[in-house]
Each structure stands twice: as C-alpha cells, then as structure tokens.
Amino acid sequence: MKIELLEETSSTNEYIACYLGARENVIVCARRQTGGKGTKGRSFLSNEGGVYLSALFFYRDLPASRAFEVMAHAAVAVCRTAEAFGAQPEIKWANDVLIGRKKLCGILIENGVRGDLLDHSVIGVGLNVENDVSALGDIAVNLSEAAGRRVTAEAAREKLIAELLRPTKFAEYLSRVKFLGREVTVEENGRAYRAIAEEILPDGRLVVKGAEGARPLSSAEITLKL
C-alpha cells in the first residue's frame, strides 16, 4: 500500500483527494497541517509533534448502511495505538477517543457513496503525541503525557498505520465504550434531558431510555454529555 509523507499541507483529507481518480488505497501523512479539519466544520490544531494522516480506502459491495463500521474501525485503531504505549483510552460515542476525559485525537470520516453502496472512505486522524496542546486548555491530552514517557510522532504514526490496516470487530469498539448503562445528558433540538445510555446499535445509533421510553438517536442529531 502506498504511503506518502509530507512535511506540510493544509489538510491531509483535502490533499488525498488527488488519489480518488486512480482508485487506489493510499495513506497520506504530514508533519504539520496549516488548515486541519475537525468535525462539524471546526479547525484542528496541527502543530509538529502530532500524527496527521488520511487513509483512502475503496470498497467492493459494502452496503452504505454499514458506514458506521468505518468510524468504529478508526476509533479502535487509535485506541490500540495508545494502548501499545501504555495509555488507557476509552471511546465516547460516536468516535471521540478520551484519556481521563480529555481528547486524545480528532477523527473525521468523509464517505463516498454510489447508490446503496459505500464506494470509498477518507479516514482523517489527528493524534496528539508529543505536540503542545496547552493552547486547548484542559480539554486535550497528548499520548506522551498519558503514557508517562516520551512517545515520538514517528513511532505513533507507524503503529497507527499498522492498526488502520488491521481488521476490527464491532465488539472491540463496544468494549472501549465505558458509559453504557449510566445516566447521561442528551441535548436535542434545543432541550436537555437525562437518560440512561443503554446500547449502541451496529448502524451507530445510541439507544437511550428516558421518561418517554427507549429511543435510538443519531450522533448527527444530538450532543451527548457524560
């Protein structure tokens, strides 16, 4: 599989689009990004010392209804990477990887669909490793801090690539989601309410049980607070 390493680019997710026409699986990494992209249009701080990569994968006969598997796979790959260096991450639904309730990385998935099939995915990952995250206040952590020792960006990048190329099972995703069975705050359509997080369905929806009974909710429709 082709792996390209750049010194700097605006966004690896944007750069990797040049490979779409060739229809080949490829991974693009950058030491720095000047315009890193987060979810919901947010920017992503991308100083040197982190891992910033995008993986382009093409599929055959994969139903678009199974798109959540791509997101789950990316989150598990990040967790496996962190665990390899002695950290103890967990997943906050849908794809936030946390250590001590601080974000370790950003994951941005951009899917291409043809009819009812998932044609390709761009999996963008920004992993804090030895970069300075102090500008983000108390909401972020890097892998070196979490591991209690220096972890180089090169070592973390090599491990993350290896984990992205390994298959995962949905059970591995579920095993790293620690809040199921607990009470959470759901913010939906401008109102907030308490509910019990019961389960995550294979399509990625979270089933919560509140005063109105059990309901499956999409991460695109709500904000969840632990």
Q: Check whether the bond before 94 is cis (ω within 30° of 0).
A: yes
In the structure encoding, which two tokens stand for residue 103, read together?
């974000």
pLDDT digits (tens, 9 = 90+) for 190-220: 899 999 999 999 999 999 999 889 999 999 8
- Mean of pLDDT over the chain: 94
Residue 40 pLDDT class (50, 70, 90 cuts): low
Model pLDDT, residue 47: 86
Model pLDDT, residue 137: 85
Between CA 107 and CA 37 the distance in angstroms is: 9
Cβ burial 28-56 (10 Å sphere, 16+ → b, else e): bbbbbbeebbebeeeebbbbebbbbbbbb
**In this structure, are residues 89 and 74 in contact, taking their beta carbons and an 8 Å threshold?**
no
In the chain, where are the structural domains located? 2-175, 183-225
Between CA 9 and CA 84 the distance in angstroms is: 28
pLDDT digits (tens, 9 = 90+) for 75-114: 999 999 999 999 999 999 999 999 999 999 999 999 999 9
**In this structure, are residues 154 and 51 in contact, taking their beta carbons and an 8 Å threshold?**
no
Q: For residue 3, is pLDDT > 60?
A: yes
pLDDT digits (tens, 9 = 90+) for 127-183: 999 999 998 889 999 999 999 999 999 999 999 999 999 999 999 999 999 999 999
Tell how strand 26-33 and strand 2-9 pair up: parallel
Q: In CATH, what is the architecture of 2-175?
A: 2-Layer Sandwich (3.30)
Per CATH, the number for 183-225 is: 2.30.30.100
Q: Which of 102, 109, 127 is nearest to 45 (CA)?
A: 127
Q: For residue 43, is pLDDT > 80?
A: no
